[in-house]
Amino acid sequence: MSRVTLSRYLIEQTRNHDTPADLRFLVEVVARACKAISHAVSKGALGGVLGNAGTDNVQGEAQKKLDVISNEILLEANEWGGHLAAMASEEMEEAYQIPGRYPKGAYLLLFDPLDGSSNIDVNVSVGTIFSVLRCPEGTETPSEASFLQAGTEQVCAGYAIYGPQTMLVLTLGNGVKGFTLDREMGSFVLTHESMTVPESTKEFAINMSNQRHWETPVSRYVAEMQAGATGALGKDYNMRWIASMVADVHRILTRGGIFMYPRDAREPEKPGKLRLMYEANPMSLIIEQAGGAATNGHQRILDIQPESLHQRVAVFLGSKEEVERITSYHHHSEA
């Protein structure tokens, strides 16, 4: 039986699920950009791409050389195809307008070009996260407001993970598929037909070094997991933490678990650390499509109405049973 490439899968989606042809082309372009980023990442010191770029991004974080390279790869790959009205990147303060010499399309693309880039220099898995929205009708020049749509409005979301294998994980709203890059063929091949998150789990992912800064519901929940089989939850848990959201979420998609990045007392004015538009929304759509759940501790992430392009949010996502538990603890603390 012949292998199903990403291109073939997308064509079949157009035939069987009425996926618009221009969305199919857009996903293929993003996938090609991810292949180029994978190649750059894999070169490491040989390509002179390790270390800091000497600049900061819009959040004031030091940019790695590969942050800048990955951002440019995605912009250049997607600006000329005629599928996009505009783009937005975690690395850029404002929306990126399609140059006037190119035609414009019906979609908006948002991306975190290289998630987990603090891990680059130590050769740990990193990735690219992307999200696609429809551009509001009648919009000639998309502004920041054009992007401020709830996560439920996403028409597509995905991520690429650059690990021992390069994989592209994708949802078009009818389940989650995983594609592995065959470097000899140069194509992404369907290898994970239906990725699902187990409803219950015995693994959790959180940065324990921040424990002293957590809110009470998070401290309670983690303490119960640490108590193990003799504690309130009645089972032993393992902790995993890679410090790359793509890698942590990929593990959860593969074998279950809960990923937590709560708000904390160091910056009480901020509702969280992760970016709603570039990280939380696309990952929440993927997790929900795989049978999991995602909240900010109080409400479903996909229902949050964005107020700014670089808005931050607390994130609890993964196995439904565990996400519902930590969310209920937040609700109890409000009562």
Supply the pLDDT for residue 210.
95
**Nearest-angstrom CA–CA distance, 191 and 118:** 29
Comma-separated ranges of CATH 3.40.190.80 domains in the chain: 203-334
Give the predicted TM-score (pTM) of the model. Answer: 0.95
Q: pLDDT tens-digit profile of 152-206?
A: 999 999 999 999 999 999 999 999 999 999 999 999 999 999 999 988 889 999 9
Q: Which helix (H) or strand (E) holds 169?
A: strand 166-171
Question: Whose CA is closest to 38, among 156, 125, 132, 157?
Answer: 125
Q: Per the annotation, where are the binding residues? A: 90, 112, 114-118, 207, 273, 279
**Nearest-angstrom CA–CA distance, 266 and 264:** 6
**Nearest-angstrom CA–CA distance, 111 and 73:** 12
Comma-separated ranges of CATH 3.30.540.10 domains in the chain: 6-192
**Nearest-angstrom CA–CA distance, 293 and 302:** 10
Supply the pLDDT for residue 61.
67
For residues 159 and 169, the answer to whether their CB atoms sit within 8 Å is: yes
Question: Whose CA is closest to 20, among 127, 135, 98?
Answer: 135
Fold for 6-192, please state it: Fructose-1,6-Bisphosphatase; Chain A, domain 1 (3.30.540)
Q: Which residues are CB-contacts of 131 (< 8 A; sequence separation ≥ 6)?
A: 109, 110, 111, 154, 156, 157, 277, 278, 281, 282, 285
In this structure, what are the phi and psi dihedrals at residue 88, rounded to the nearest 5 degrees?
Answer: -140, 140
Q: Per the annotation, where are the binding residues for Mg(2+)? A: 90, 112, 114-115, 279
Q: Per the annotation, where are the binding residues for substrate? A: 115-118, 207, 273
Pick the CATH number of 203-334 from 3.40.190.80, 1.10.10.60, 3.40.50.970, 3.90.180.10: 3.40.190.80
Supply the pLDDT for residue 236.
97
pLDDT of the chain, 335 residues: tens digit per residue: 579 999 999 999 999 888 899 999 999 999 999 999 999 999 888 887 777 766 766 666 667 789 999 999 999 999 999 999 999 999 999 999 999 999 999 999 999 999 988 888 888 999 999 999 999 998 889 999 999 999 999 999 999 999 999 999 999 999 999 999 999 999 999 999 999 998 888 999 999 999 999 999 999 999 999 999 999 999 999 999 999 999 999 999 999 999 999 999 998 888 999 999 999 999 999 999 999 999 999 999 999 999 999 999 999 999 999 999 999 999 988 76
